[in-house]
């Protein structure tokens, strides 16, 4: 027997996520202020934890519905109607073990080897990696930046869709840029995809963290039930539940069976007692969402004040999400520079190239944190950026 155990080329070619490469330098170092990951420093609210504990104590430890317990899916139907004004039926909701799992099974159900997915970038690296895991062609189309912020050229987006394009992946509000797609742009993309028979994978996990309105424009507000739209969301950001690993998909009803099958083969379902906590978050957690937005607004103000004072920094405050994405004059290797900042400044940032080649020279900072630690981090960075 050969000692060589071949690995699929598409898997062997995947690069270790660059954010992880930086965080591994000082993940447990109390002297480093960790702003590299996309999560708040606020623990999950007690009432959400209590709901999970009560369900666990009640013995909800058995196998359960693959696509989510009925109570949670029903709560998501009500939530979608309340937040988006969209009448989504129960058979269009599937609960997943994390938002990333939602993206992964969406890619699994759509993409054959060689199929193209056009991703609007810079974008969270796991999305493109999911396409490549399936042997697809992840083609990233960069947003454009000027003094007014980030912009999407729709003509370039449509031109990037070749004959073998199966889907467009759009993360809005965007990670890492904070760019927010307008309803007019969404309508244009939906009309194009209807005409070309191309799917839209809409990653809308930051849709509630917006600074000038209740919710960001959503494809759920304009699509018909059987449109080629798969909308991804998660409990992680709004309710400080990043470690709980629960998300959901809103999809055409015909996807209920294939998604149930893929969940069976990938994770076999999500823990029932954790889903009870999500019901509690949806039903009683609007105040938590408001507090998260207030925390992020204050964090954005702190970071913007400091970055705007740095002559080497190019930056515009984001419209949504909880990231500052900025470039530093003279930086030619974002990954190396982010590692250097850990060592020299004791601040952990994400390198821009983690989000695609267009991120070279840029850095991402998560400002969903309390004022004190952010002030300290910005003072340390200011000493380096001068």
What digits encode the pLDDT tens for the residues 309-355? 998 999 999 999 999 999 999 999 999 999 999 999 999 999 999 99
Using the predicted structure, report yes or no on whether residue 142 has a pLDDT greater than 80: yes
Percentage of residues in the chain with pLDDT exceeding 90?
92
Per-residue pLDDT at 5 exceeds 90: no
CATH 3.90.1150.10 applies to domain 9-44+287-385 = yes
Across the chain, what does the average pLDDT equal? Answer: 95
CA angle 352, 353, 356 (to 5 degrees): 110
pLDDT band at 17; cut points 50, 70, 90:
confident
Q: What is the mean pLDDT of residues 266-277?
A: 95
pLDDT value, residue 3: 57
Using N-to-C axis directions, what is the helix angle for 256-266 and 99-110, rounded to 10°?
120
pLDDT bin (cut points 50, 70, 90) of residue 1 is very low
pLDDT in tens, 58-72: 999 999 999 999 999
- Gap between the Cα atoms of 324 and 314, Å rounded: 11
**pLDDT at residue number 2:** 45
Query: What's the angle, vertex CA 354, arms to CA 218 and CA 41, rounded to 5?
Result: 70
Q: What is the 3-state secondary structure (H, E, C) of 142-189?
A: ECEEECCEEECCHHHHHHCCCCCEEEEEEECCCCCCCCCCCHHHHHHH
The confidence score (pLDDT) of residue 4 equals 62
pLDDT tens string 24-38? 998 888 999 999 999
Classify domain 46-284 at the CATH topology level.
Answer: 3.40.640
Q: Where are the domains of the chain?
A: 9-44+287-385, 46-284
64's CB contacts (< 8 A; 6+ apart) are 269, 270, 272, 275
Q: What is the mean pLDDT of residues 89-113?
A: 97
Mean pLDDT on 191-218 = 97
Note the pLDDT tens digit of each residue in 287-301: 999 999 999 999 999
Give the residue-averaged pLDDT of 193-198. Answer: 98
**Closest alpha carbon to 220 in 209, 231, 228:** 231
Segment 112-116 shows an average pLDDT of 97
């Amino acid at each position: 027997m050969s000692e060589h155990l071949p690995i699929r080329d598409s898997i062997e070619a995947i690069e270790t996520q660059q954010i992880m490469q930086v965080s591994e330098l000082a993940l447990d170092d109390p002297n480093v202020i960790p702003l590299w990951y996309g999560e708040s420093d606020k623990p999950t609210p007690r009432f959400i934890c209590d709901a999970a504990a009560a369900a666990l104590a009640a013995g909800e430890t058995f196998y359960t519905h693959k696509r989510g317990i009925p109570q949670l899916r029903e709560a998501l139907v009500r939530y979608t109607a309340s937040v988006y004004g969209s009448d989504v039926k129960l058979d269009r909701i599937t609960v997943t073990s994390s938002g990333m799992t939602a993206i992964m099974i969406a890619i699994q159900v759509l993409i054959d080897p060689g199929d193209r997915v056009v991703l609007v970038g810079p974008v969270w690296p796991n999305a493109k990696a999911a396409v490549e895991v399936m042997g697809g062609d992840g083609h990233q189309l960069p947003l454009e930046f000027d003094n007014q912020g980030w912009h999407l050229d729709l003509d370039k987006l449509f031109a990037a869709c070749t004959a073998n394009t199966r889907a467009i992946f759009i993360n809005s509000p965007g990670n890492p840029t904070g760019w927010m797609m307008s309803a007019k742009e969404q309508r244009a993309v939906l009309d194009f995809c209807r005409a070309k028979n191309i799917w839209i994978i809409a990653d809308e996990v930051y849709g509630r963290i917006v600074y000038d309105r209740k919710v960001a424009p959503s494809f759920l507000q304009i699509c018909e039930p059987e449109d080629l739209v798969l909308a991804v969301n998660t409990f992680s950001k709004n309710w400080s539940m990043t470690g709980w690993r629960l998300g959901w998909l809103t999809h055409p009803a015909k996807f209920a069976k294939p998604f149930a099958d893929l969940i069976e083969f990938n994770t076999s379902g999500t823990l029932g007692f954790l889903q009870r906590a999500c019901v509690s978050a949806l039903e009683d957690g609007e105040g938590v969402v408001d507090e998260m937005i207030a925390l992020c607004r204050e964090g954005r103000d702190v970071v913007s004040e400091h970055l705007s004072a740095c002559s080497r920094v190019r930056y515009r405050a984001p419209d949504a999400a909880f990231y500052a994405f900025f470039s530093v004059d003279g930086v030619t290797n974002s990954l190396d520079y982010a590692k250097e900042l850990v060592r020299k400044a004791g601040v952990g940032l994400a390198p821009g190239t983690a989000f695609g080649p267009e991120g070279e020279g840029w850095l991402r900072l998560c400002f969903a944190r309390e004022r004190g630690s952010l002030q300290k981090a910005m003072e340390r960075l200011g000493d380096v950026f001068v």
